[in-house]
Amino acid sequence: MRTPLIAAGFAAAFTAGLLASHLIPHADAQQGPAPLTPQIVNLFTMTDEQIGNLVPNTDLRSRTLVATPDGTVAVQSGNVFRHFHSNTDEIQLILQGEGSFWLGGQEHQIKPGDLIVIPRGTPHAGSRATTGRFRALAIKLPPQLAGDTHAAPN
């Protein structure tokens, strides 16, 4: 006699849970990125101050220009420590600055116009700008999650 009562209780609790999940908003629900708007942004005339404040503990400024569920586009100025992203592929187009860039285990010379393809898990960093500051257009696919910048061994 108790088994049918217990089964009915579980069924009622399950049904109540399903109804509540559709009626009550989730506490962790986040709104998606703002819809894209038509715009023209001149990356060459943008000042470092317009790009943004320095990221803590770095020489990097970054400003997100486009954010979608599938990827982000940002302009970056400066330099960061050698690091990698576990869950994000990155593509950088160098706009300004010449110098060395670490990609994987090798140091490469870069200049404006260079396109750098950085698959997830690949250590990378600008290391020494010989002329000006590095400025790059950075595309991240999918968008980089918080906490997905990991220091790479030297």
- Residue 109, classified by CB atoms within 10 Å of its CB into exposed (0-12), middle (13-18) or buried (19+), is exposed
Confidence at residue 57, expressed as pLDDT on a 0 to 100 scale:
81
Residue 53 predicted with pLDDT over 60: yes
Any residues with CB less than 8 A from the CB of 131 and at least 6 apart, and which? 97, 98, 99
Confidence at residue 2, expressed as pLDDT on a 0 to 100 scale:
56
Residue 101 predicted with pLDDT over 90: yes
CATH class of this structure's domain 48-151: mainly beta
Confidence at residue 129, expressed as pLDDT on a 0 to 100 scale:
81
Residue 139 predicted with pLDDT over 80: yes
Residue 127 predicted with pLDDT over 70: yes
Q: How many beta carbons lie within 10 A of that of residue 135, not counting itself?
A: 22
**Per-domain residue ranges of the chain:** 48-151
**pLDDT single digits (tens) 14-45:** 333 433 333 333 333 344 566 788 999 999 99
Per-residue confidence at 64, pLDDT binned at 50, 70, 90?
A: very high
Residue 88 predicted with pLDDT over 70: yes
